[in-house]
């Protein structure tokens, strides 16, 4: 068997993708920081065959991953028409613990899409733009995965102010003050449980949601304002928009039918501590949330020491087993 391998990162959205239609078309544009440490490494072994697939997570045969991979290959058959005439052995591992509550779908699907692109290249099939096509394929596996292909930021979904933006693939975005290119993201593991709302169910909640139309419009406006703030290095406006986006995401969940509260009491404790600390010290520290209870603490590299001691002394106590992950803005995938 031949082999190809990629390491692809996760990402954290600043403007949130929440709601989709057709096959993985986002209801609004989104933009994210690409992470450096949280990543999936995937080695794909391939040979001519009959479409047999086996998948190993950390060396263990994991057939429970097969349905997701099969549906990815079905959806991407225009990109990878050769898949049915080959056998694949997929070896994958994540740099972050499975129990950490960090979604591995973005890093995992982008790593797999890149491996499939490398097979396509090896077979001598025509490719216009390797990373654009990889992003498009990754989107079909996981919407947010389309953004993992590029750093330091990536934007997915048509937006008036982002040239070349598309609903089908993400584009690299770096038109920001340098302060944002080395931003820190300390992920506080408030709750280590499995996600209580799958992303399919979650996005589905936006269908028929009474506030959906306004929310989708607001995302466009927030993205415009965020781009200006980031270009100008305006941390205060950056923080206000990013925190509002996080709470809006959770607000949408609370006001959907059925309704969900994914924050835990300790999530709120952390948010209140961050607000109080910022008020008191004036230090630029902000938060965002994913569809879960964990808190991403965002701050400039220049404030790393002071914010880390704040996290240690005041926030760590709200984390499960005192655990958190240190990450920062990264540059995207690497071929191994």
Is 17 an interacting residue with respect to ligand DP6 (CB under 6 A)?
yes
CB atoms within 10 A of CB 228: 13
* 76 counts as binding ligand DP6 under rule CB under 6 A: no
Label residue 210 exposed, middle or buried (CB < 10 Å: 0-12, 13-18, 19+). exposed
Residue 197 · residue 260 · CB < 8 Å: yes
Chain centroid to CA 240: 20
Q: Residues touching ligand DP6: how many (CB under 6 A)? A: 17
The DSSP element (H or E) to which 55 belongs, if any, is strand 53-57
The nearest distance, CB 200 to ligand DP6, in angstroms, is: 5
> Phi and psi at residue 29, in whole multiples of 5°?
-75, 155
Report 97-116 residues binding ligand DP6 (CB under 6 A).
Answer: 103, 105
Q: 6: exposed, middle or buried (C-beta count within 10 Å: 0-12, 13-18, 19+)? A: buried
Look at residue 133 and give its three-state secondary structure: helix
Is 328 an interacting residue with respect to ligand DP6 (CB under 6 A)?
A: no
* Minimum CB–partner distance for residue 125 and ligand DP6 (Å): 26
Whichever of 132 and 290 has its CB closer to ligand DP6, that residue is: 290
Does residue 64 touch ligand DP6 according to CB under 6 A? no
Residue 13 sits in the site that holds ligand DP6 (CB under 6 A): yes
DSSP code per residue over 180-202? GGG-EEEEE-S--SPPSS-HHHH
Residue 159 sits in the site that holds ligand DP6 (CB under 6 A)? no
Instruction: Specify the residue for token string 């999530």.
Output: 267
User: Using CB under 6 A, which of 142, 248, 267, 294 touches ligand DP6?
Assistant: 142
The closest alpha carbon to 158, from 150, 149, 168, belongs to 168
Closest distance to ligand DP6 from the beta carbon of 171 (Å): 15
Written as six digits, the tokens of 39 are: 């990543």
Report the residue number, 13 or 27, with the smaller CB distance to ligand DP6.
Answer: 13
- Asked if 143 touches ligand DP6 (CB under 6 A), the answer is yes
Between helix 105-122 and helix 130-141 the angle, nearest 10°, is: 130
Q: Is 23 in the site for ligand DP6 (CB under 6 A)?
A: no
Using CB under 6 A, pick the residue from 7, 120, 203, 250 that binds ligand DP6. 203
Binding to ligand DP6, residues 211-250 (CB under 6 A): 249
Stretch in the footprint of ligand DP6 (CB under 6 A) among 91-99, 198-206, 275-283, 323-331: 198-206
Q: Provide the 3-class DSSP secondary structure of residue 298.
A: strand
The mark string for 286-315 relative to ligand DP6 (x by CB under 6 A, - otherwise) is ----xx------------------------
Helix pair angle (212-232, 235-254), 10° resolution:
160
| Residue 140 lies near ligand DP6 (rule: CB under 6 A) | no
We find the least distance from the C-beta atom of residue 146 to ligand DP6, in angstroms, to be: 8
- CA dist 233 and 107 (Å) reads 28
Interface residues with ligand DP6 (CB under 6 A)? 13, 16-18, 24, 30, 103, 105, 142-144, 199-200, 203, 249, 290-291
């Amino acid at each position: 068997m031949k082999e190809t391998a990629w390491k692809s990162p996760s990402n954290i959205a600043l403007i949130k993708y929440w709601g989709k239609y057709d096959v993985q078309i986002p209801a609004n544009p989104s933009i994210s920081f690409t992470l450096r440490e949280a990543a999936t490494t995937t080695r794909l072994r391939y040979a001519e065959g009959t479409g047999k697939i086996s998948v190993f997570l950390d060396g263990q045969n994991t057939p429970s991953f097969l349905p997701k991979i099969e549906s990815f290959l079905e959806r991407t058959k225009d990109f990878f028409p050769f898949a049915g005439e080959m056998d694949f052995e997929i070896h994958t591992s994540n740099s972050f613990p499975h129990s950490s509550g960090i979604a591995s779908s973005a890093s995992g699907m982008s790593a797999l899409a890149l491996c499939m692109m490398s097979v396509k290249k090896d077979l001598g099939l025509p490719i216009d733009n390797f990373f654009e096509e990889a992003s498009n394929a990754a989107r079909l596996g996981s919407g947010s995965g389309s953004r993992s292909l590029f750093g330091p930021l990536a934007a997915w979904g048509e937006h008036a102010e982002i040239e070349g933006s598309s609903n089908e693939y993400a584009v690299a975005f770096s038109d920001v003050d340098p302060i944002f290119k080395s931003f820190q993201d300390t992920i506080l593991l408030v709750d280590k449980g499995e996600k209580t709302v799958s992303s399919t169910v979650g996005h589905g909640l936006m269908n028929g949601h009474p506030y959906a139309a306004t929310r989708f419009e607001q995302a466009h406006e927030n993205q415009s304002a965020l781009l200006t703030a980031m270009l100008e290095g305006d941390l205060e406006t950056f923080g206000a928009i990013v925190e509002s986006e996080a709470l809006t995401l959770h607000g949408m969940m609370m006001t959907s039918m059925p309704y969900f509260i994914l924050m835990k009491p300790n999530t709120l404790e952390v948010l209140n501590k961050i607000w109080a600390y910022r008020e008191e010290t004036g230090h630029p520290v902000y938060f965002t949330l994913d569809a879960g209870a964990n808190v991403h603490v965002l701050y400039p590299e220049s404030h790393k020491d002071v914010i880390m001691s704040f996290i240690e002394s005041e926030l760590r106590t709200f984390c499960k087993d005192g655990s958190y992950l240190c990450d920062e803005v990264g540059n995207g995938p690497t071929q191994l």
